[in-house]
Amino acid sequence: MVSQRRINITGWLFILVPVLAISLFYFYPMIQALILSFKSGRGMNLDFVGFDNYIRLFQDSNFITAVKNTFIYLIIQVPVMLVLAIFIAVLLNDDNLKFKGFFRTAIFLPTVTSLVAYSVVFKYMFGGDGIVNKMLMNFHLISEPIQWISDPFWAKVTIIIAITWRFTGYNMIFYLSSLQNIDKSVYEAARIDGANAFTQFFKITIPLLKPMILFTTITSTIGTLQLFDEVVNITKGGPGNSTMSISQYIYNLSFEYTPDFGYAATVSYSIVVMVIILTLIQNKIGGDKK
């Protein structure tokens, strides 16, 4: 028999590389970013400025616009997408449904595209003389082209449509796997008790999906707070700054404008704070019956 001590040491060896890598490439930069957020200056020449960056943050209209935009995406897009995903998953979970595999594959397909590739496709589809306007006009739904990309309101709508197209199928798969784990006899019993489809959905399906709803809400929230590829490739953040996301603003502060890594790090910490607060809220609402 191999000695317990040796086995124990081997156990640590197996996890050594990721412990080192995650410490070096995730936790260490987190600490660096915190230190950096108290510094300011151009490029690599940075001086300590105390809380100046944090004071600047609250007076920075670009930052406030980016936060507003990001929250508009968050508040509108995430609920719409998740409701849609649950709805489709419930429809697809019906045993009597034909072509189930086909529908599932088709609706999941957007997930395999690269964010950049689909963003560029959407940019052209929603252009002034793009195919979407042409189709809407052919069906006489609109009388003149909508300025999807160049109008501040419609540009946000375009981004929201794009993200919903890309990620609904992804979330749908998680719900579908949860639904398939629910014992059918639960519904059987409810039907005998006279519960209609509505009651079954709200009294059985939704409560049983709760952990998955929590999981997808958190991952979608974190994803939306980091939104970058779509805004950069569909609208470049414009018109004006009307679609700019927080991540894009951090990128601009570091690599587009005169680099101020210190202030960029301060802005990036605002995302960390938002992730923590929103996750805590969601856990409180979603995880109370654990």
DSSP state letter for 83: H
Nearest-approach distance from CB 182 to another protein, in angstroms: 13
Nearest-approach distance from CB 192 to another protein, in angstroms: 18
Options 121, 136, 195, 208; binder of another protein; rule CB under 8 A: 121
Identity of the residue, 60 or 169, whose beta carbon is nearer to another protein in the bound complex = 169
- What ranges in the chain are assigned the alpha helix state H? 4-14, 16-22, 28-36, 52-59, 61-92, 100-108, 115-125, 131-138, 152-180, 184-192, 197-200, 206-225, 229-234, 246-251, 261-286
Residues 13 to 52 in contact with another protein, rule: CB under 8 A: 13-15, 17-19, 21-22, 25-30, 32-33, 36, 44
Contact call for residue 188 and another protein (CB under 8 A): no
Residues 204 to 263 in contact with another protein, rule: CB under 8 A: 212, 215, 222, 225-226, 228-229, 232-233, 236, 246-247, 250-251, 254-255, 261
What is the Cα–Cα distance from 219 to 134, expressed in whole angstroms? 35
What is the Cα–Cα distance from 169 to 175, expressed in whole angstroms? 10
DSSP state letter for 262: H
Q: Would you give the binding string for another protein spanning residues 64-93, x where CB under 8 A is met? A: ------------------------x--xx-
CA 93 to chain CA centroid, Å, is 25
Contact call for residue 120 and another protein (CB under 8 A): yes
Contact call for residue 160 and another protein (CB under 8 A): no
Contact call for residue 278 and another protein (CB under 8 A): no
Options 57, 160, 163, 176; binder of another protein; rule CB under 8 A: 176
The token duo for 178 is 């949860």
Nearest-approach distance from CB 36 to another protein, in angstroms: 6
Identity of the residue, 93 or 242, whose beta carbon is nearer to another protein in the bound complex = 93
| Look-up of token digits 């979970």 | 93
Nearest-approach distance from CB 193 to another protein, in angstroms: 19
Identity of the residue, 19 or 55, whose beta carbon is nearer to another protein in the bound complex = 19
Whether residue 113 contacts residue 119, with contact meaning beta carbons closer than 8 Å, is answered with no
Q: Which long-range contacts (CB under 8 A, 24 or more apart) does 7-15 make?
A: none
The CA-to-CA distance between both ends of the chain, in Å, stands at 42
Contact call for residue 94 and another protein (CB under 8 A): yes
